[in-house]
Chain A
Amino acid sequence: MRKEIRIAGTGGQGIIFAAIVLAEAAGIYENKYVTQIQSYGPEARGGASKADIIISDQPIYFPQTQELDILVCLSQQSLDEYVKKLKEKGTLFIDSYYCKNFNKEKIKTYAFPFSLVAKEKLGRELFANIILLGSLARFTKIVSIESLKKAISHRVAPQFLAINEKALMLGYEIDQL
């Protein structure tokens, strides 16, 4: 079972960090084969940013995604650009705070205002990346929430752990907000 996942948005939204946490949750805490690669432009902030994760039971050779199983978009631009890479039976996650134009009918779509939730519940938009990971765990079961928690506690400085865990759970229960 090879699952191809892309997280895309704008530089500064923590796209690559989210991808690393997801890869670590699957690769370290669930013993799966993983590769994580990213593409980036010359800008440190503001440019398009995308990160791909492949999770598999078998060794992964070709490390590039070809047909996405899961696409997560945190910007309208990334949604417009990558939605055609999604498999017919793939799953789309969008940040409805930034993505206004989308056709929900053909594709299985989860639209939540991750950035807005982050801003309103945690005071800062930059937690949107962790919130979306919580939602991914809940709706796709690609990794467990426990593994994500472990990965976050490994990657985040102790003083920011509580708020990141809170973000993760906000995402996990986002449909109940």
Chain B
Amino acid sequence: MRQLLSGNEATAIGAIKAGIRFFAGYPITPSTEIAEYMARELPKIGGVFIQMEDEIASINAVIGASASGMKAMTATSGPGFSLMQEGIGYACMAEIPCLIVNVQRGGPATGLPTKPSQSDVMQTRWGTHGDHPIVVFYPYNVLESFYLTVKAINTAYFLRVPVILLTDEIIAHMREAVELPEEVEIYQPKRKKKSPEEFLYYSEETIYDSEVAYFGEGYRIHISGLTHREDGFPTNKPEVIKRKLDRLKRKIEDNKEKLWDLEYQDIGAEVCLISYGISARTALEAKYIFEKEEKRALGYIRLKTIWPFPDKPLRALLKSAKKVIVVEMNQGQLINEIERAISPEIEIIGVQRYDGEIITPEEILAVI
């Protein structure tokens, strides 16, 4: 069935299709429609919606529910995402899967509640304290908001990590006509084979796709944010600490190739545009205008996976490029990451905008 949906609605629908049954959140523009959809729909299907007293409470309630076996998520924007950072770090350390949607608006501080921005891409990577990688996806239209939400949730439960879906005010509020599938493939964590006596919540036998126990199943597990051993209890032993942190890193390192998702066109061209989210739509428009006027191809790469950063595929795709133009709505965030990834021979310039207005095709065409 074809329907007219906003990005936020598509995300909410995708989340429920992917098995989300718990949502805790706090109203914040431009993410609120996701909470409103969940408040309406979750009680109909045996799920739970709760509006908490703030974003700190929201992320922690999500962690509690997920540790109890209900697939759980929250949605927020800049200020709320900042408040959630400690909780996201906890979810990494305690290995509690969940989905956090950050609909970006202008910042810092209260910033521009009703205007788009892409200035949280580095915060998603480095927002919490401590060493750990993170998985972040970023859709560029309504349909992809649905599919990447599903992928984000499946990834979270496969790896037992918090996953962040970044969107922005335009992608979230824009309506498009889409056709969504009735059903999607859902990752279900493995059933336990071990007895409660033998079971280890953080068993080193597997670091992802592991057998998992939830609260209330008679496994009497101990979940902790302290750096811990396989059984969840705290440790100060250097070798155990290192193993734990390596484990958090390896979960994502080992699965990088599967997580990387890029879309590209005409990568043989001398000049290549690289972008993501709303700015990628401008880049694509600029590409077609350029080709119509100049009668030659312009390369285009769009990152759907922001983190882990797709350095290897980018390097491979840009083998013959002479010049790269990175288009993003911030003061230059991912451009530095791209610069580190690609050959120093390639000229790299940024088209950046951070005044609440989206980048226009003309601004890109002006620098080619």
Q: Which residues of A contact B (CB under 8 A)?
A: 20, 23-24, 27-28, 31-42, 61-64, 66
A64 touches B360 (CB 8 A): yes
A32 to B285, CA, bound (A): 18
* CB of B19, distance to nearest CB on chain A (Å): 28
Closest to B278 in A: A63
- A28 x B175 contact (CB < 8 A): no
Q: Contact between A37 and B174 (Cβ–Cβ < 8 Å)?
A: yes
Contacts of B4 in A (CB 8 A): 20, 23-24, 27-28, 34, 36
Q: How far is the CB of A22 from chain B (nearest CB, A)?
A: 10
> If A23-B4, A42-B114 touch, does A35 touch B175 (CB 8 Å cutoff)?
yes
Distance between A155 CB and nearest chain B CB, rounded to angstroms? 9
Give chain B nearest CB distance to A77 CB in angstroms: 18
Q: Can you list 29 pairs linking A and B with CB atoms under 8 Å apart? A: A20-B4, A23-B175, A24-B4, A24-B177, A27-B2, A27-B4, A28-B2, A28-B177, A31-B2, A34-B175, A34-B176, A35-B174, A36-B4, A36-B175, A37-B170, A37-B174, A37-B175, A39-B114, A42-B113, A42-B114, A61-B281, A61-B282, A61-B285, A62-B281, A62-B284, A62-B360, A63-B170, A64-B358, A64-B360
| Complex alpha-carbon distance, A110 and B278, angstroms | 35
A33 touches B177 (CB 8 A): yes
Chain A nearest Cβ from B342, distance in angstroms? 24
If A34-B176, A61-B285 are given as contacts, then 6 extra A-B residue pairs at C-beta distance below 8 Å, sorted by A number, are A20-B4, A36-B176, A37-B174, A61-B282, A62-B282, A62-B361
**Contact digits for B1-31, partner A, Cβ 8 Å, 1 yes 0 no:** 0111000000000000000000000000000
Is B126 among interface residues, defined by CB-CB distance under 8 A?
no
- Which 3 A-B pairs have CB atoms at the shortest separation, nearest pair first? A27-B177, A62-B285, A61-B285
- Mark B260-283 against chain A: 1 for CB-CB distance below 8 A, else 0: 000000000000000000100110
B105: Cβ under 8 A from any A Cβ:
no
Please classify how large the interface on chain B is, using the bins under 10, 10 to 19, 20 to 34, 35 or more.
20 to 34
| B contact residues around A61 at 8 Å (CB) | 281-282, 284-285, 288
- Closest residue of chain A to B288 (Cβ to Cβ) is A61
A40 CB to nearest chain B CB (Å): 6
Bound CA–CA A24/B114 (angstroms): 23
Q: Are B114 and A63 in contact (CB under 8 A)?
A: no
What is the bound-complex CA distance between A20 and B281, given in angstroms? 21
A40 to B169, CA, bound (A): 12
Separation of A38 and B175 alpha carbons in the complex (Å) = 10
Contacts of B284 in A (CB 8 A): 61-62
Residues of chain B with a CB closer than 8 A to A63's CB: 170, 174, 278, 281
Measured CB to CB, the nearest residue on chain B to A32 is B177
Q: Give every chain B residue within 8 A of A36 (Cβ-Cβ).
A: 4, 174-176
Residues of chain B lying within 8 A (CB to CB) of residue A39: 114
Interchain nearest-CB distance for A44 vs B (Å): 11
**From A36, A38, A41, A61, residue with most partner B Cβ within 10 Å:** A61
Decide if B173 is an interface residue (CB 8 Å cutoff).
yes
Interface centre among A28, A33, A34 (most CB of B within 10 A): A28
Chain A residues whose C-beta falls within 8 Å of the C-beta of B288 in the assembled complex: 61
Q: Are B113 and A35 in contact (CB under 8 A)?
A: no
When distances are taken between beta carbons in the complex, the residues of chain A under 8 Å from B176 are 27, 33-36
Provide the bound-state CA to CA distance between A42 and B114, in Å.
8
> What are the residues of chain B within 8 A of A35 when measuring CB–CB?
174-176
Interface string of B279-297 (1 = CB under 8 A from A): 0011011001000000000
A32–B177 Cα gap in the complex (Å)?
8
Most chain B CB inside 10 Å of its own CB: which residue of A31, A42, A63? A63
Chain A residue numbers with a CB within 8 Å of B113 are: 42
Q: In whole Å, how far is B257's beta carbon from the nearest beta carbon of chain A? A: 28
Query: A52: nearest residue on chain B (CB-CB)?
Result: B174
A67–B173 Cα distance when bound, in Å, is 21
Flag if A20 contacts B358 (CB, 8 Å): no
Complex CA distance for A39 and B288, rounded to whole angstroms: 26
Chain A neighbourhood of B114, CB < 8 A: 39-42
